Amino acid sequence: MTPGLRQLVSLAEAHPLAPACDHFYFLRHGQTECNARRIFQAADEPLSALGLQQAARAAELLADEPIRSIVSSNVHRALTTAHTVSAPHGIAPLVHEGLRERHFGALIGSSSAHIDWACAPEGGETLPEFVERKRAALEEALAQPAPVLVVAHGGSLYVLAALLGVAVDMGLMGNAQPLRFERDGAAWRVRSLMQQVDGGAAIA
């Protein structure tokens, strides 16, 4: 784990999340061209052709899950993904601006290959600001009628996992991979619905 991610985890663990639900779902948006090129991207970056296919596959995997609420970031790539996966459920996604990805300011358009989460980009958010915004947004999202599906970003997943004390394997960070978070006694664990379908083992 990089120093920046360790700081993110430390900030999140200082004020953990305590959802009332016993399980919920999380979905990172489908891939964009900037994801593929590892570039910090603007809010209006659309899904690539592959990203649209990934969103459709995620919709299939989530179609039989008993989802009652879908809450999405208002960023284009996330909202497009949310509308795709919401169709089988007949649920209109609720839009929450607080679920947006971190604003990287002057870094947008540059390489994210060696992202430093501890950076303080000019015109962007600091890491403490980002973590606190995500904590508040996730708390509100998970207060919706359960089970809830949150559609957001990779940064959201890092913060969410840290808020719940869950170690996230890099295999769970892929675009449009549906995840199920579930309470296990006093703790939480996460598993991939994609791995479940493909015969892989769940990752705690």
Q: How confident is the model at residue 196, as a pLDDT?
A: 54
Q: What is the pLDDT of residue 199?
A: 37
φ, ψ dihedrals at 191, nearest 5°: -140, 155
pLDDT per residue as tens digits for the range 155-201:
999 999 999 999 888 899 999 999 999 999 989 999 999 875 443 33
Q: For 10-52, write each residue's pLDDT tens digit.
A: 999 999 999 999 999 999 999 999 999 999 999 999 999 999 9
Contact 19, 142 (CB under 8 A): yes
Q: Is residue 204 part of a domain?
A: no
Domain that holds residue 139: 3-198
Q: Is 61 helix (H, G, I), strand (E, B) or coil?
A: helix
> What's the rounded Cα separation, in Å, for the pair 190 and 203?
7
| Rounded Cα gap, residues 167 and 187, in angstroms | 11
Q: How many domains does the chain have?
A: 1
Q: Assess whether pLDDT exceeds 70 at residue 105.
A: yes
The CATH number given to whatever domain includes residue 54 is: 3.40.50.1240
Within-domain flag for 203: no
pLDDT digits (tens, 9 = 90+) for 146-156: 999 999 999 99
Closest CA to 93 of 25, 161, 173, 162: 25
Q: How far apart are CA 178 and CA 145, in angstroms?
A: 19
Residue 202 has pLDDT above 60, yes or no: no
Q: Is residue 73 part of a domain?
A: yes
Q: What are the distances in angstroms from CA 132 to CA 14, 89, 105, 123, 127?
A: 11, 31, 18, 18, 9
**What per-residue confidence (pLDDT) applies to 60?**
98
What confidence score (pLDDT) does residue 201 get? 30
In a domain? residue 123: yes
pLDDT at res. 170: 87
Provide the 10 A C-beta neighbour count for residue 69.
Answer: 19
